[in-house]
Amino acid sequence: MPRYFITIEYDGGGYVGWQRQNNGPSIQEHLETAASAILGQRQEVLMQGAGRTDAGVHATGQVAHCDLPSGFAEAQLPLALNAHLPSDIRVISARQVPDDAHARFDAIGRSYRYRIFPRKIASALLAGRVWHFPYPLDIEAMAEAAKRLIGKHDFTSFRATHCQASSPVRTLDSLDVHQHGEDIILTVSARSFLHHQVRNITGSLVMVGQGKWTADDISAILEARDRSAAGQTAPPEGLYLTKVSYPEF
């Protein structure tokens, strides 16, 4: 059967996350239901995602693969799937790939964006899509501290205590902090991430932005290899999976 990579964007606010679960609706469940629907309910379809975003986390560039017994034109498949999806989930593109291509295991890079809205008054239009932080933050200090985390490190201090990854060692290819309008944006790229790694890094850099910690403190936290040494886990609503990169097949 032909295999397709589809690129998906979604507002994760109303979902338990990407992965199908018993405690509520998931992105994966809706996509699999939509894929079965376009086949006339003839069979179940498995959607394998590139990353398991948590409850409340959004995506502008999630990727999944699926096998479909009928040949669909790449331009028509997103339209067919979207006809059976809620408005907060959209397939934005599709492409046919080799039969052994894998959305998760073949990925060579992932990028995330985290949005902080540092204004005393929360935004009526951005609720559920940013971390509203009602105090000013020193962006330059945050950017300087972020440099201490770039490269290959043991990120035990910045992963969830229940993270199931076999190793805490990861390589951050980039980590940037900048202002865009009223938002403070963190952009980070790596081949793969630990559970809650981006949100835990964000929570710690916000401590720097408040003047409570320095770049040297971030280095010491990294070296401590102790989750309790780092800052809070930033809320999920500010996090977006923006891109998954692959080699040319």
Give me the active site residues, please.
54
**CB contact set of 167 (below 8 Å; sequence gap of 6+):** none
Dihedral (Cα; 182, 184, 189, 194), 10-degree rounding: -130
Alpha-carbon torsion 7, 13, 15, 18, what sign?
positive
**CB contact set of 231 (below 8 Å; sequence gap of 6+):** 200, 203, 204, 205, 206, 207, 213
